[in-house]
């Protein structure tokens, strides 16, 4: 899928041209590395689960994000140094709810947290990808991460899937899942890159606005396209 530019705004065009250049292929081996991304509460987890069922090796960035801030890790120590011991529970583990309260209302602190955690997360993802490549060099590996575009991490992948849905569906899902008010849900969504902007980076798009069966159909279709790309 192409990456359109906004011809009406030259400054935007130049910026987007730099950001949306062709993904850099990580190496010459045959494992296909695929990034999966999308905004909060758009259904990435379901898509990832379907890809796993179909035979892909998958990494859930949320799982990795929890691993890198486990008690005693350098990641947790870095977070505590930046935000204080009040982000810890009594047992010494990270209080993610407390940390979320701090960073979601303050863009500078949110960016600071991302800058701390992303190097740990990417290093852990890459280590797992290397292991899979040694064990199964002809596989398709999929990494799910919400901020893959914002961080620039999408450039590490051969293909990029962007999951999206209608804005009203996204807000309803987020409010229900996180038990948030409409205002709080809208604030969380506003901290991320707009869905329409993320879609510009995609090699493949999956619209999850409808029923699970339709999302599964789209995912299976893209899986077949990925296998064909890997074979070629």
Residue pLDDT, tens place only, 89-130: 999 999 999 999 899 889 899 999 999 999 999 999 999 999
165, 209 contact by CB (below 8 A): yes
Is residue 23 pLDDT above 80, yes or no? no
Residue pLDDT, tens place only, 188-220: 899 899 999 999 999 999 999 999 999 999 999
The whole-number pLDDT of residue 104 equals 83
Phi, psi of 31 (to 5 degrees): -65, 130
23, 160 contact by CB (below 8 A): yes
59, 140 contact by CB (below 8 A): no
The whole-number pLDDT of residue 87 equals 97
**Mean pLDDT (whole number) for 9-23:** 40
Architecture in CATH of 10-231: 3-Layer(aba) Sandwich (3.40)
Where in the chain are the domains?
A: 10-231
Residue pLDDT, tens place only, 49-71: 999 999 999 999 889 999 999 99
* Alpha-carbon gap, residue 31 to 45, rounded angstroms: 22
The whole-number pLDDT of residue 210 equals 97
């Amino acid at each position: 899928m192409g990456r359109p530019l906004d011809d009406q705004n030259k400054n935007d065009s130049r910026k987007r041209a730099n950001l949306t250049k062709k993904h850099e292929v990580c190496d010459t081996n045959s494992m296909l590395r695929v990034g999966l991304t999308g905004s909060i509460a758009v259904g990435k987890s379901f898509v990832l689960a379907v890809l796993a069922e179909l035979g892909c090796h998958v990494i859930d960035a949320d799982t990795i994000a929890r691993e890198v801030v486990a008690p005693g890790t350098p990641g947790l120590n870095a977070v505590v140094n930046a935000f204080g011991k009040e982000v810890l529970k009594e047992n010494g583990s990270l209080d993610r709810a407390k940390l979320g309260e701090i960073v979601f209302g303050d863009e500078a602190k949110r960016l600071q947290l991302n800058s701390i955690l992303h190097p740990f997360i990417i290093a852990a993802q890459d280590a797992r990808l290397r292991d899979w490549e040694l064990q199964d060099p002809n596989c398709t590996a999929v990494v799910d991460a919400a901020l893959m575009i914002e961080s620039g991490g999408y450039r590490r992948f051969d293909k990029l899937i962007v999951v999206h849905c209608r804005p009203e569906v996204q807000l309803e899902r987020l409010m229900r899942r996180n038990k948030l008010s409409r205002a709080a849900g809208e604030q969380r969504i506003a901290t991320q890159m707009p869905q329409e902007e993320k879609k510009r980076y995609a090699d493949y798009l999956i619209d999850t606005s409808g029923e699970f069966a339709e999302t599964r159909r789209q995912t299976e279709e893209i899986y077949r396209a990925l296998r064909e790309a890997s074979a070629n």
